[in-house]
A and B are shown apart, each in its own frame.
Chain A
Amino acid sequence: MSRYAELQATSNFSFLRGASHPHELVEQAKALGHRAIAITDVNTLAGIVRGHIAARELGMRFVVGCRLEVEAPGSVVAFEATNESPEKFAAGPMRGVLCYPTSRAAYGRLTRMLTRGKQRAEKAKCKLFYDDLLAFGDGQIFVALPPAEIDGDFADFLRRLAADFPGHVYLALQHLYRGDDARLLHRLDELARETGVPTVATNDVLYHTAARRRLQDVLSCIREGCTLAEAGYRLNAHAERHLKSPGEMARLFRGYEDALARSVEIAERCRFSLDELRYDYPDESGGHGGTPQARLESLTWNGAAWRYPDGVPEHVTRHIDMELRLIEKLGYAPYFLTVNSIMKEAKRREILCQGRGSAANSVVCYCLGITAVSPEMIDVLFERFINEERREPPDIDVDFEHERREEIIQFIYEKYGRDRAALTATVIHYRPRRAIREVGKVLGLSEDVTAALAGTVWGWYGDAIERKHVRDLGLDPADPTLALALELATEMVGFPRHLSQHVGGFVITNGLLEEIVPIEKAAMKDRTVIEWDKDDIDALRMLKIDILALGMLTAIRRGFDLIAAHYGKRYTLATVPKEDPAVYEMLQHADSIGVFQVESRAQMSMLPRLKPREFYDLVIEVAIVRPGPIQGGMVHPYLRRRNGEEPVTLPAGKDELKEVLGKTLGVPLFQEQAMKMAMVAARFTGAEANGLRQAMATFRNNGTMPKYKDKFIQGMIANGYEADFAQRCFRQIEGFGEYGFPESHAASFALLVYASAWIKRFYPDVFTAALLNSQPMGFYAPAQLVRDAREHGVEMRPVDINFSAWDSTLEIEQREISSGGDAGAGGEVGGIKEVGRRALRLGFNQVKGLAQEAMDRLVRQRGAGYRSIDDVTRRSGLDRKSLERLAEADAFRSLGLDRRQALWAMKGVEVAPPEMFAARPEPTPDMPAPLPEMKLGQHIVEDYHWTGLSLKAHPLSFLRSGLARRGIVPARELRGRRDGERLTVAGIVLVRQRPGKGNVVFVTLEDETGIANLVVWIPVFERFRRIVMGARMIACTGKLQIQGEVIHVVAETMRDMTPALRRIGGEDGPAQGQLELAIHSHDFH
C-alpha cells in the first residue's frame, strides 16, 4: 500500500475555484486512505478551521497551509526604492507557492504575511511580494508550483527560493493528463536535480470527487462571466482534478516514488495544529494589580450589594459562589472583565445598552450590570451559558443604541488596538435564488427563465426551488437543461460566496491577533475583519463579544430624555415603575403599535389571547410567537391551559418534568426547557443537550441530527413517556435550532417590551416622538405611528419652518406667527397656552431629501421666527433646492402660504449666498399670482410624497362615498359585525407578511377609520398573486372571523383598487408626471 498525502487541495473558500467544501475534501481523503491532507486555498486561511474540525472528528492528520500567489522578484525593489505605488511598475510574474508552517511561530508569521498582503490590497484581495516570503518565511515549508510554461525564469525563481530557504523548498510534480505529462515530469525532475530542490507529488485538487467537475466548470464560468458554451479553454478538459487514491497516485508517478513519499515527509514535518492556538484573554488588570479572578469577584460582590440593597438572598449568594468557582476553574474571568469594561464605557457615555442571550443565564452577569434579568424572573440555567464539559467560551451579546454603536466599536479598537481587536467574518453563502440565477446564466438559459425561476423562491418562498413552481411557470422541469440547472444550483446552495463582516462580533486578544488569524480590511471604513466566522471562532474556543445595534434602545433613550425635558422626571431602564397594571391592560387589548417585539400582526393577535398580566407573561409572549413553539404545536395547548379550557397535566407520574415545565403549564416553550427535558426525560448529559442544540445551527450539520433524534425519542420512551409526546417535544427542538429563542433571551427582550409599553401607555406623545426620531425601525411606517398617536389623543402638528427642528419635538404652548406683518417684539410670538399633554411637532427629518446640517442652520437663524419667504431666503442661508423641498413639504403654513403659493413665491425670490445680502436691494413685494387652488386631495398626495404621511386627512376619506356605494365596510365597523359574515373591506396596503414557510399571507389594510387584517390562504394568494404583491390599494371580500378581540377577514376574492388612488389628486386624475399617492408597504418574510 502506497503512502501518500494530498498537500494541494483547493476548497470552495477559494471562491469560484474550488468545488468542494473543506469537510468533503477531508472526509474523502480519509476514505481514500491518505496519510494527511492540506487545504491550500489561494491567499487565505478562511477554510482551514472547517477542515481542521472535520479532520479532528475523523482522527485524520490535517496540515495547515495555503497557496500564496506571490509577485516574483523584480518589481519590489523599484517599489520600495521610490516608495510609489507598485502598479506603476511592470509586475514580475506571479508565482504560486504552497506554504506550510512547521510550528506555531511559523504559523503566526504566515498569518501576519497574509494580513500584510490583504492590507495593501483592495478588499477581498491580497497582494504579496517575494520580500514578504523573506520577511515571514522562517519555519515555513514551501512547495513551488510549476507554471504552464517551464522556462529559465522559473528555474531562476526556484534557485533563488532554494537559496533563501535551504532545506525548506520543494518542487511540485503534477500528472494532469495533458498528454505531455511524462515529458513534463521528466523536465521538472531534471530541474529539481539541477537546483538541488527535492520534488513532491501533488494532484492540484479542485474537488473531492470527479462528479463535482460539472460544478467546477460552472464556477469557472461564473468567475469568467461567460456561459459554458463560450467558456472554451477556460474550462478544464477533463475531470481529473479530484482526490485520488494513494494507489492511483503511485501508478501515475511511476518512477517518481521519492516524490510521492515526500508528500508524507512534508506532512510529518508540518506538525503544527490549530489546536495549539492558545487564546489569551486581554489583560484587564487596568493597573489595579491582583488576579482577574480576584477583581471579578470583588466587582461581582459589589454588584450584588447594589442589586440587592436589602441584603443578598441566600440562594443568590449560593449561585454566585457556584458561578465564580466555575469561572475560576475555566479561567474565564478576564472575559467578564472585558465585557464589563466595555459596558462601563457605554454607560459613561450615556449610551443605553443591555446584555441579552445566554448571558442572562448568569447571576454574575446580572450583578455586573451586563444583563438586567434577575434570577428571580427566570430559571437561571447556567449550563446554557457556561458548560464545563463543553469547554466552549461563553457568548455575551450586548445591544447598544443603534445610532451610537459605532462609538463603542471605535472605542474597542482604540482601547485594545487594531492589532488585538477585530470583527469576525460572516460567510455569505449561495442561496437558492442567487444560485439558480447564476447557474442558469452559465447554462445559457435566458434571463427570463432564470429570473422566473429565481422569482419562485422570491422572498416569501422558502429555501428550495420546488418542481411544482417550475411547472407553474409554464416550464418543464424535465427539460434537460432546466433539470441540470436545478440540480447544479441545488448543489451550489451553501457554497461560500464571499466573506462579509459580522454584524458586531468582536474578537479581542491579549497577544497580536494577526498572529492567530489573517485580518483584512472591511468594506466599511475604519473596520477590520478576521478571516474566520463565528463558528470557526467557537470551534477554536476563542472569545467573542457581540456588539449589536438595537433601534429600540435608541428610541427608549430618547423617550427617557424627552420625559426628563418635558415632564421633569428622569427614568432609566432600571427605574421604570414595575408591573403597572395599566401597561398590561393596554397590551391585553393589542394596543401595541410601536412597542418592542409585540407589534407584529402575529403578536397583536396573540396578545388578547394570552392576556399578559405580569412580567413573566411578556417573556412567554415574546417567545411563543416563534417558529419553534408554532412548529412544535405548543401554542394552542398553552393558550387552552392558560385560559383554563384544559387541565394542566404532565405525563402521568412524571414529577421530574414539573420542575422543568411547571411555569409554562406543562408545555415546553423555551430552548432551556427543551434542553432540560433532554437531560431529565431523555437522560442526556449537559454537553449532549447542548450538542443537540448546536447540531441544528452550525456548519457541522453533517448528519448528526438523526442521531440525537433517536436518542431523544428512545430515551423518553425508555423513561415511560408516550411516543407522541416525545415526537412533539423533538419537533419543537428542531424549530428552536433554526430560530432559537431561549428564555433568558426572551426575558432580556421582555424588559424592553415592558419599558417601551410603559412609555407608550403614560407618555404617548413622547413615545411617538422617540420612535419617529429613531427611524427606520420596527414594523410600522411613520404614517401609522402618527395615526396611532392621534388615536391616543396626541395632537400632531405639521412640519413648519417656524416651529420644527430636525427631530420631531414636543411643544408646550400654542404658538402662532402671523405672516407678513410684525410678529410682536423679541421672542414673544403669539399667546402661550399650556396644554395637558404636549403636542408633537413633526421634524424636518420626516421630509424627504433634506440635510440635517442645513436644517440645523435654518433653526439657528430662526430667532423670533421668519416673517416672509424673503426673510427665510435671506436669513436661513438655505440653497434653492432645500427651500423648494420645504415648500413642497408644505412647511410655510405659518406664513400663510400653502405649498403651491410658497413654491411660486420661492421661485420668484433670488437665492444668494449670505455674504451677498448686504449689497442686495430690498425685494419688491410679489404680486399674488392667479394660481389655481390646490385641492385638498392633491395636498394629501403631495404630503404623502414628501413626508410619507399627511395630517390633513386620510386618502381614503376622499373615496369613501364611492366605496360606500359599493357596499364596502369601513374598518372601524368590523367590530360590530357578526362572526362569519361575508363582507368587503378596502384600504391601502400597509404590511404584507408571509411568516416562515407558512401557507398563509397576512395583509394589513388601512382606511380612514382604522385597520383591517386580512388572512390570505395560499390558494387565494396564488389566484390574486399580482394584486397581493403589486397593488397599493386593495378591496377584499371575505368572511369575517372574530375571536374575542382578534378580528380577521379571511380573503376570498381581491380587487386591485390602485387606480382609485389616482383619483384622489383631482377629479380628472393627475396629469402626466404629477405625483401619485406614494405609499410604501413594509414587506416581511
Chain B
Amino acid sequence: MDRRGASGCGSSAHKPAVLAVSVGGRRILSAVNPAAEALGLLPGLTLADARARVPGLDVANADPEGDAAALLRLAQWCGRYSPWTVPHGADSVLLDITGCAHLAGGEDRLGAALFERLARRGIGARLGIADTIGGACAIARGGGHAVNIVAPGATRDALAALPVRALRLGGEMAAALERLGLRHIGDLYRLPRAALAQRFDAALMTRLDEALGEEREALSPLPPAPPRWTRRQFAEPIAARDSIEAAIRVLLESLCRSLGEEGLGARLLVLTLHRVDGESASLAVGTARPNRDAAHLMRLFAERIERIDPGLGIEDMMLAARRAEPLGARQLALPRAGQDGVTADDAAMLIDRLANRLGARSVGRLVPRAAHLPERAQHFVFAFATGGDAFRADQPRPVRLLPFPEPIEAIAPVPDDPPLNFRWRRRLHRVARAEGPERILGEWWRGEREAELLRDYYRVEDEDGRRYWLFRAGLYRPDAAARWFLHGLCA
C-alpha cells in the first residue's frame, strides 16, 4: 500500500508530481505519480533532467522515515480485522486473518471491506489473500486486481503466471532471474531444484518454498503497543468528574513510568475518549519543556476536565504522548533545598500552566535572534516553541528597548558626530559623554524601504548621568534636517 503514492503531494493526480531524494549531491526521483510516469519520468531519473523535460513539475521531498512511521500506524489501524498485524517491507502490511475472516462475513467480504475503508482514507491498495504469507504477497503484487484471493490449496497454480519479482526477492536476484529468461514463478517450477539452488542465493528457494507452503513462515505480529500510549477500558461507563480525573491520573502515572524507562519527557499529550454512543473526543495538553512529572501534568489536565462532555458515559480512554523529547533521569519528587531560587523548571511549569489555561497562543516569551537592527534582534515565540540564538554580548545594547523609536530633537555637529544635546518628551538633555556612531543598515533584501534604511546609533550620557541610546536616521544631508530618535534606555 502506498502511503500517499506519489499522488498525495497535495495536488491532483492529473498533474505530474514526483518525490525526490538526495543521493550523493544529486537529487533523484524516488517515486512518481501516474501523470508523471506517463510523461516518461521514472524513478531513478535526476531531478534536473526531469525538470528540463517537464517544466513546472510538482516536486516534494521523499520521507522514508515518515513513510515507515505511517505504515506502522496503518498496521495498528488494521488491528480491527485481526489481532496479528505487522508492517512488511517498505510498503505492505501483513494480516493473519486465520479464524477472523468469518467475523467479517468471509474472506471476500473482509477483503472488500478493508479495501473500501482504505480507499475512504485515500489510500490506494492492492490486497492478496492466500494460504501462505509468500503467496498472499505474491498475489497482491502480481494478481492484477484490487482484491486477489487464492482458493485454499490452489497457491501453486495461482502463482505460476506471476512475475518472479512477486516473490519478495531482492531487486538484484529478480533481475538475474529475468536475465535468464525466468520471468514467471512457473518458470522456476520447471527447473531442477538442485540446479537452481546451486546458482542462486538460498533466499530464492526459501521464498519459493514459503510461497508454496513448503516451508513454514511465521508472522511476527506487531510488538506490544508502543509504550508512549496507554489505554484503559471501563467495565461500567464513567461520567463523573472524579472518576474521570482518577482515570486520567492512573493513565498518566503509567505513561510517565514508561516514558521514564525510555528517558523521554512529553511535550504534547493527547487524551482520547470513546463514549458509549460511539462518539469520541480528545483533549490536548502541551508543555514548554519535556516533562514526565505526573502530578504536574495532572494539574494541566485538571484545569480542563470540565471541557470534557462525557455524554452517556465513557467506556474507553487512551492517553498518548504525541511528542516526546529526551529528558534525563532525575529525581522528580524530592523537595528542593532552597525554595526561594526560581529554576528554569519552575518557569517552565508556570508557562505550562498559564499556557494550558489561557491557550498556548496566549503566552509567549522573547528569544534572541541574530539581526543587526535592534528591533529585530529578539522575537516573540509562543509558549511551547523552542529555539532562539544567544543574545549578543559584544555590542552594548540598552537594557530597555522602546517598542518604537521616539522622535527627538537633537543638535549635533555634521556629518556624524554625537549630539551635543537633545529634547525627549519635552525635556532638554545636555550630553555630557557620548560614543558613536554605530552604523546599522536595513536588510536590503527585504525591499526598497529597507535598502534605504540607515541609522547611526549613539550611546549618550546626559549631565544627570542618565544614559540613552539615540540614533540619527539617514546620512547627513545639507539640504534636509536630520531626523533623530531615542530608541532605548541604558543602565
Seen from chain A, the residues whose Cβ lies within 8 Å of a Cβ on chain B are 148, 177-180, 182-183, 213-214, 217, 228-229, 231-235, 237-240, 443, 448, 451-452, 455, 458, 473-474, 480-481, 484, 888, 900, 903-904, 907-908, 926-927, 929-934, 942, 1025-1026, 1029-1031, 1056, 1058, 1071-1074
Contact A179/B395 with A228-B445, A232-B389 known, Cβ cut-off 8 Å = yes
Q: Within 8 Å CB of A239, what residues of B?
A: 441
Q: With the chains together, A277 CA to B388 CA distance in Å? A: 55
Q: With the chains together, A231 CA to B396 CA distance in Å? A: 20
A148, A177, A443, A1058 interface centre (most CB from chain B within 10 Å)? A177
Contact A930/B445 with A451-B51, A1073-B178 known, Cβ cut-off 8 Å = no
- Say yes or no: is B439 at the interface (Cβ < 8 Å to chain A): yes
- Say yes or no: is B91 at the interface (Cβ < 8 Å to chain A): no
Q: Is the CB of B438 within 8 A of A931?
A: no
- Say yes or no: is B371 at the interface (Cβ < 8 Å to chain A): yes
Q: Is the CB of A180 within 8 A of B439?
A: no
Query: 20 pairs across A/B with beta carbons < 8 Å?
Result: A183-B435, A213-B444, A232-B369, A232-B370, A233-B392, A237-B440, A238-B441, A240-B439, A451-B51, A903-B179, A907-B176, A908-B195, A931-B180, A931-B181, A1029-B52, A1031-B40, A1058-B40, A1071-B163, A1073-B165, A1073-B174
- Say yes or no: is B39 at the interface (Cβ < 8 Å to chain A): yes
- Closest A residue to B373 using CB positions: A237
Q: Is the CB of B40 within 8 A of A1030?
A: yes
Contact with A along B174-208 (1 / 0, CB 8 A): 11101111110001001110010011100000000
B39, B48, B171, B195 interface centre (most CB from chain A within 10 Å)? B195
Contact A179/B195 with A455-B52, A1058-B40 known, Cβ cut-off 8 Å = no
For the complex formed, measure the closest distance between the CB of A805 and the CB atoms of chain B, giving whole angstroms.
26
Contact A1072/B190 with A178-B438, A904-B180 known, Cβ cut-off 8 Å = no
Chain B, interface SS category: mixed
Contact A888/B48 with A237-B372, A1026-B39 known, Cβ cut-off 8 Å = no
- Say yes or no: is B472 at the interface (Cβ < 8 Å to chain A): no
For the complex formed, measure the closest distance between the CB of B166 and the CB atoms of chain A, giving whole angstroms.
10
Q: Is the CB of A452 within 8 A of B55?
A: yes
Known contacts A933-B181, A1029-B53; 16 further A-B pairs (Cβ under 8 A): A177-B438, A178-B438, A179-B436, A179-B459, A180-B396, A214-B444, A238-B441, A443-B445, A455-B51, A455-B52, A900-B180, A908-B195, A934-B181, A1026-B54, A1071-B165, A1071-B183
- Closest A residue to B440 using CB positions: A237
Identify A233's interface contact among B181, B187, B372, B443, CB under 8 A.
Answer: B372
For the complex formed, measure the closest distance between the CB of A1032 and the CB atoms of chain B, giving whole angstroms.
9
Q: Within 8 Å CB of A213, what residues of B?
A: 441, 444
For the complex formed, measure the closest distance between the CB of A884 and the CB atoms of chain B, giving whole angstroms.
9
Contact with A along B358-396 (1 / 0, CB 8 A): 000000000001111000000000000000010010111
Q: With the chains together, A931 CA to B200 CA distance in Å? A: 15
User: How many A-B pairs fall under 8 Å by CB?
Assistant: 135
- Closest B residue to A446 using CB positions: B59
B side interface size, CB within 8 A = 58
For the complex formed, measure the closest distance between the CB of B104 and the CB atoms of chain A, giving whole angstroms.
33
Identify A907's interface contact among B53, B199, B439, B443, CB under 8 A.
Answer: B199
- Say yes or no: is B24 at the interface (Cβ < 8 Å to chain A): no
Q: Within 8 Å CB of B56, what residues of A?
A: 473-474
Contact A932/B438 with A237-B372, A927-B192, A1073-B175 known, Cβ cut-off 8 Å = no
- Closest B residue to A1027 using CB positions: B53
Identify A900's interface contact among B179, B392, B437, B444, CB under 8 A.
Answer: B179
- Say yes or no: is B245 at the interface (Cβ < 8 Å to chain A): no
Q: Is the CB of A177 within 8 A of B437?
A: yes
B56, B59, B181 interface centre (most CB from chain A within 10 Å)? B181
Identify B445's interface contact among A451, A481, A933, A1025, CB under 8 A.
Answer: A481
- Say yes or no: is B484 at the interface (Cβ < 8 Å to chain A): no
- Closest A residue to B415 using CB positions: A251
- Closest B residue to A910 using CB positions: B198
- Say yes or no: is B309 at the interface (Cβ < 8 Å to chain A): no
Q: With the chains together, A1029 CA to B198 CA distance in Å? A: 45
Q: Within 8 Å CB of A177, what residues of B?
A: 437-439, 456
> Which residues between 20 and 59 of chain B lie within 8 Å of chain A, taking CB atoms?
39-40, 47-49, 51-56, 59
- Closest A residue to B434 using CB positions: A182
Identify B187's interface contact among A229, A900, A927, A932, CB under 8 A.
Answer: A932
Q: Within 8 Å CB of B39, what residues of A?
A: 1026
Q: With the chains together, A178 CA to B396 CA distance in Å? A: 10
- Closest A residue to B45 using CB positions: A1030
Q: With the chains together, A1025 CA to B55 CA distance in Å? A: 10
- Closest A residue to B38 using CB positions: A1059
- Say yes or no: is B64 at the interface (Cβ < 8 Å to chain A): no
Q: With the chains together, A228 CA to B441 CA distance in Å? A: 14
Q: Within 8 Å CB of A903, what residues of B?
A: 179-180
Contact with A along B423-466 (1 / 0, CB 8 A): 00000000000011111110111011000001011110000000
- Closest A residue to B171 using CB positions: A1073
- Closest B residue to A884 using CB positions: B176
For the complex formed, measure the closest distance between the CB of A1057 and the CB atoms of chain B, giving whole angstroms.
11
Q: Is the CB of B52 within 8 A of A179?
A: no
Q: With the chains together, A931 CA to B163 CA distance in Å? A: 15
Q: With the chains together, A232 CA to B371 CA distance in Å? A: 5
Contact A900/B163 with A452-B51, A1073-B175 known, Cβ cut-off 8 Å = no
Q: With the chains together, A927 CA to B389 CA distance in Å? A: 73
For the complex formed, measure the closest distance between the CB of B236 and the CB atoms of chain A, giving whole angstroms.
56
Q: Within 8 Å CB of B459, what residues of A?
A: 179
Q: Within 8 Å CB of A179, what residues of B?
A: 395-396, 435-438, 457-459
For the complex formed, measure the closest distance between the CB of B57 and the CB atoms of chain A, giving whole angstroms.
8
- Closest A residue to B191 using CB positions: A929
- Closest A residue to B56 using CB positions: A474
- Closest B residue to A177 using CB positions: B439
Q: Is the CB of B40 within 8 A of A908?
A: no
- Closest A residue to B39 using CB positions: A1026
For the complex formed, measure the closest distance between the CB of B437 and the CB atoms of chain A, giving whole angstroms.
6
Q: With the chains together, A1073 CA to B174 CA distance in Å? A: 8
Q: Is the CB of B371 within 8 A of A908?
A: no
Contact A228/B443 with A451-B47, A900-B181, A933-B181 known, Cβ cut-off 8 Å = yes
Q: With the chains together, A981 CA to B171 CA distance in Å? A: 49
Q: With the chains together, A932 CA to B56 CA distance in Å? A: 45
Q: Within 8 Å CB of A908, what residues of B?
A: 195, 198-199
Q: Is the CB of B190 within 8 A of A930?
A: yes
For the complex formed, measure the closest distance between the CB of B161 and the CB atoms of chain A, giving whole angstroms.
12
Q: Is the CB of A1026 within 8 A of B53?
A: yes
Q: Is the CB of A237 within 8 A of B40?
A: no
Q: Within 8 Å CB of B165, what residues of A?
A: 1071-1073
